[in-house]
Amino acid sequence: MKTTTMLLAATLSVGLLVSSGIANATSITSHFGTTSYDIINFSVSSPGVVEIQYAGGYYNPTFSLFDGSGAHLISSYPSDYLTQSLGTGNYSLLVGVCCDSIDYATNNFIDEPLMLSQTDGYNTGNYWIGGSGTLSGMQAFLDASSYYWLAQGEAYSLNISNNAQISSVPAPAAAWLLGSGLLGLIGVSRRKAA
C-alpha cells in the first residue's frame, strides 16, 4: 500500500513541476516628455502573454508596441489596456495620448493599408492597428505632430506583467508516465497476491 501511494505521489509531483509557470510584473511611474509621449524599454524573460495596463495619470492613453529591432507590432486607439503574446526578447512601448497611433497610421507611415478592427485575438472594445511602421518613424512623426502640447510633462503610471505560458506535459510523456505508474501498480498487486 505504501508503494502505491509513493508511486502516485511521485507521478503527481512530476506533473505539477512540468506544468508550473512563471509570472513577472513591473510598475512604472513617469512623465510625458515635451512631445507628449514616452518610450519604455523592457525585456521578456519567458514567452507568454504580456499585459500592459494604464494605471493613472493623463487621460486617453495610446500604446504602440515594437520589437527589439524597432518594428511595429500593434498599437491601440485609445485604450488603457493592451495584451500581446510575445516571445523572449527586448521590446519598446511608446506611451502616447489621444490620436497618436491613429494619425501615424493614417498618414501613410504604416506601409499596409490601415487595419482597424474591434479585436485582434487578445484585445476587444477598442481599435487595434497593425502594420509595418517603425519606432523611429513614429517618433519622427510625433516630434513633428501638432499634438505635442497635449500632455507635456504630465505624470502617468502603468503596469507591465508577463504571465508565461504554462507548458503541459507532452502527450507521449504523459502516456509514458501513466503507463509506467500502472505497470508499477500491477507489479505491486501481483507481489502481494503471490
The pTM score is: 0.61
H/E stretch holding 128: strand 124-130
Residue carrying C-alpha cell 505632430 = 145
Report in angstroms the alpha-carbon separations of 126 from 57, 78, 121.
20, 7, 12
Taking only the tens of pLDDT, the chain with its 194 residues reads 433 333 333 333 222 223 233 446 788 888 887 778 888 898 888 888 888 888 888 777 888 888 999 888 887 766 777 888 899 999 999 888 876 666 665 554 444 444 444 344 444 444 455 556 778 877 877 777 766 677 788 888 888 888 654 444 445 555 555 666 667 777 767 777 76
